[in-house]
Amino acid sequence: MGAKIIRINMTTLTSVMEAVPKEWLGLGGRGLTSTIVAREVPPACEPLGKYNKIVFAPGLLTGTAAANSGRLSAGFKSPLTGGIKESNAGGTAGLNLERLGIKAVIIEGLPEEDKWYGIHIDKHGAAIREDAGYLGKGNYELFTSIGERMGKKIGVLAVGPVGEYKMAAANISVKDPDGNIRSLGRGGGGAVMGSKKIKYITIDDAGGTGPVIADPEKFKQQARIFAKAILDHPVSGQGLPAYGTNVLINILNEAGGLPTKNFRTGRVDHPEKICGESMHDLIKERGGVISHGCHAGCLIKCSQIYVDPQGEYVTSGFEYETIWGLGCACNINDLDDIAVIDRIMDDIGIDSIEGAVLMSVAMEAGILPWGDGKGVYRLFDEEVRQGTPLGRTLGNGAGSVGRTYGLTRIPVVKNQAIPAYDPRAVKGIGITYATSPMGADHTSGYAITTNILKVGGYLDPLKKEGQVELSRNLQIATAVIDSTGLCLFVAFPNMDIPECFTAMVEMINARHGLNMTAEDVGALGRNILKTEHAFNLEAGFTSKDDRLPEFFEEAIPPHNAVWDVTGPEIDSFWNF
């Protein structure tokens, strides 16, 4: 039996299995979610209204023996940005869907009654059950409870209270192999799921036989080359496994591109208190886990299990961008404070980048003093989790906080919070923030590679020359990687080791019986980006939405760099 699509209608509370249309067969992950959203969702519709849909899709290589191939994409019209959105994460849900031969789950409509639902997917299809039992519960309690009821292997997608409230910064949480939390983080997918009154989706892969590999021998051979390249590259083979993504604190601080106190300076005065190296030593000393994978088959294992002084689990998937947001944008100088905030953000189900940056805007507004980690925890626990008036403003993101308090220093593009790299000091990432159809999103065209890490060559981060081309090439390549189900970090070896990229393409060919060339792969990436951009234009975006906030005209120390890329220069991004 071939791959199939499950279509769930929350108005009629029914589901059907559909054959995969021929033109979608060569698509997966972001390529598939963006194609379906662009085809089926009216671009100008209300993101929380009846015409929006959520699409979940494993990638083209998800669930295969390819290293780092465990990711699942979610696509929808974003209540945060008003544009098209794709988020992807590890965890077990994508692998389980792939094993069941499910190429996509499309959820549409809104329930007519004020009732909440859980969806269960297994080899027979999808069942929608009324279930208000977990309402108001955090993700940790929900994941533990479902794990106890349905077994550790169950895949789970869920929303926390933030998603129930339909707050625009709500994420969709994904159970990882240990029962902990990964996130389909950005853009408010949790609010869309909340609007459809779906508290959770469970995926039982029992009896699943996928994925079927068209050419197993070739696949095996290419997978070996691919795995070796990941292990050979210094970033994916050494830096990330040892220190996690938080290795970047010292690197960006050194580069003067670490935005501190709501983007006022490019350096923090307490890097040693929050950096990856210190975190590594602390976890080791306390008996936590330094290197840990977010899904089966991960070779990089950039995650870790952060424990408290008593050695008790606090959080995992403790990423640089979150630590930056709390440690630098909010100026909190205590890693334990930051870790418990990371945990509560996962628990209530809020994107941890948006969550951290919105707190720096709350500090800008005078709601909290700079550096008040305990205060940030309290706001998440007592305001956002409870859905108080202040909690609602916070839970709707950095733009919401800034507008509500009459600020002009609001670090957002397309209303999504700007993450951990200053666009004035690292101009390539500024182009990505400005132009990405996703809103400010470092992952969509991670120019830090070539601007800072010297992966894929080097381009002076302080000069604007060449940055549009760099960002464009990265965004096209990223659209492809986000379609494979591979972790984005395979981009590091992909950029420096030619046989790594070839192996990725050949694994796709071997998996699906295709004959894609490198050229075809580039065309796929360009097509995805253009599809997303066209959706946004139909939703009412213009080139004015491809701009950084006004305050980036201020010089940022230590380089006194300003954002000097002109409108027409930015707009040339779309000339392809």
Instruction: Output 136 or 234, the one with its CB closest to a second copy.
Output: 136
The least distance separating a second copy from the CB of residue 549, rounded to whole angstroms, comes to 8
Q: Does 414 bind a second copy (CB under 8 A)?
A: no
For position 370 contacting a second copy by CB under 8 A, the verdict is no
Least distance to a second copy, CB of residue 152, Å: 33
SS3 (DSSP) at 233:
coil
* Least Å from the CB of residue 358 to a second copy: 13
- Candidate segments 205-213, 336-344, 435-443, 545-553, binder of a second copy by CB under 8 A: 545-553
SS3 string, 303-369, reads: EEEEECCCCCEEEECCCHHHHHHHHHHCCCCCHHHHHHHHHHHHHHCECHHHHHHHHHHHHHCCCCC
Least separation in angstroms between residue 396's CB and a second copy is 6
Rounded-to-integer distance, Cα 546 and Cα 414, Å: 8
We find the least distance from the C-beta atom of residue 523 to a second copy, in angstroms, to be 29
DSSP 227: H
Q: Position of tokens 């005209």?
A: 553
- Please report whether residue 390 would count as binding a second copy according to CB under 8 A: yes
| CB of 43 vs a second copy, minimal distance in Å | 8
Q: Which amino acid is at 265?
A: T
Cis omega (within 30 of 0) for bond into 558: yes
Q: Which of 9, 144, 404, 527 binds a second copy (CB under 8 A)?
A: 404
Residue 310 and residue 258: Cα distance in Å, rounded? 31
DSSP 561: B
The single-letter code of the amino acid at 109 is: G
Among 269, 382, 550, 554, binds a second copy (CB under 8 A): 550
Evaluate whether 147 touches 179 at the Cβ level (below 8 Å).
Answer: yes
* Residue 355 engages a second copy in binding (rule: CB under 8 A): no
Side-chain-side CA neighbours of 118 within 13 Å: the count stands at 14
What minimum distance in Å lies between the beta carbon of 180 and a second copy? Answer: 28
Please give the single-letter amino acid code of residue 18: E
Question: What is the nearest approach in angstroms of a second copy to the Cβ of residue 432?
Answer: 20
Contacts by residues 451-455 (CB-CB < 8 Å, ≥ 24 positions apart): 451/426, 451/427, 452/251, 452/252, 452/255, 452/257, 452/426, 453/235, 453/251, 453/492, 455/235, 455/492, 455/495, 455/496
**Residue number with CB closer to a second copy (45 or 462):** 45
Shortest CB 216 distance to a second copy, Å: 48
**Does 540 participate in binding a second copy (rule CB under 8 A)?**
yes
SS (H, E, C) 530-547: HHHHHHHHHCCCCHHHCC
* 3-class SS of residue 183: strand
The reply to whether 282 sits near a second copy by the rule CB under 8 A is: no
Binding mask 169-198 for a second copy (x = CB under 8 A): ----------------------x--xx---
Q: Does 167 bind a second copy (CB under 8 A)?
A: yes
How far apart CA 87 and CA 189 sit, in angstroms, is 8
Q: Binding of a second copy at residue 400 (CB under 8 A)?
A: yes
Stretch that binds a second copy, among 64-72, 319-327, 384-392, 441-449 (CB under 8 A): 384-392
Kindly tell me which residue out of 9, 20, 40, 51 binds a second copy, with binding defined by CB under 8 A: 51
**Interface segment toward a second copy; rule CB under 8 A; list 91-99, 159-167, 204-212, 522-530:** 159-167
Q: Does 555 bind a second copy (CB under 8 A)?
A: no
**Residues 447 and 474: beta-carbon distance below 8 Å:** yes
Q: How far is the CB of 557 from a second copy (least distance, A)?
A: 19
* Candidate segments 86-94, 153-161, 305-313, 391-399, binder of a second copy by CB under 8 A: 391-399
> Among residues 547, 561, 565, 570, which is the contact residue for a second copy, using CB under 8 A?
547
> In the range 67-96, which residues lie near a second copy by CB under 8 A?
79
Instruction: Kindly tell me which residue out of 405, 502, 530, 564 binds a second copy, with binding defined by CB under 8 A.
Output: 405
Q: What are the E-state strand segments in 10-124?
A: 14-19, 53-58, 72-77, 84-89, 102-108, 117-122
The answer to whether 536 contacts a second copy (rule: CB under 8 A) is no
* 330 touches a second copy (CB under 8 A): no
45 binds a second copy (CB under 8 A): yes
Which listed range, 328-336, 353-361, 383-391, 514-522, lies at the site for a second copy (CB under 8 A)?
383-391
**One-letter amino acid identity for 27?**
L
Check residue 388 for interaction with a second copy (CB under 8 A): yes
Q: Which of 49, 133, 136, 498 binds a second copy (CB under 8 A)?
A: 49
Q: How many residues bind a second copy (CB under 8 A)?
A: 37
- C-alpha pair distances (Å), 68 with each of 210, 488, 507: 17, 9, 13
CB closer to a second copy out of 378 and 463: 378
Q: Give 65 or 407: the residue with its C-beta nearer to a second copy.
A: 407
In three-state secondary structure terms, 386 is coil
Among 2, 309, 406, 568, binds a second copy (CB under 8 A): 406
Closest by alpha carbon to 143, among 167, 121, 172, 116? 172
- Burial class of residue 566 in the structure, from the number of CB atoms within 10 Å of its CB (0-12 exposed, 13-18 middle, 19+ buried): exposed
Task: Tell me which of 93, 126, 332, 539 binds a second copy, using CB under 8 A.
Answer: 539
| Smallest separation, CB 382 to a second copy (Å) | 12
**DSSP sequence for 242-276:** HH-GGGHHHHHHHHT---BTTTTBS--S-HHHHSH
Within positions 515 to 534, which residues make up the interface with a second copy, using CB under 8 A?
A: none
Query: 38: closest CA among 532, 445, 505?
Result: 532
Residues interacting with a second copy, by CB under 8 A? 44-46, 48-49, 51, 79, 165-168, 191, 194-195, 388-390, 392-393, 396, 400, 403-408, 538-542, 544-545, 547, 549-550
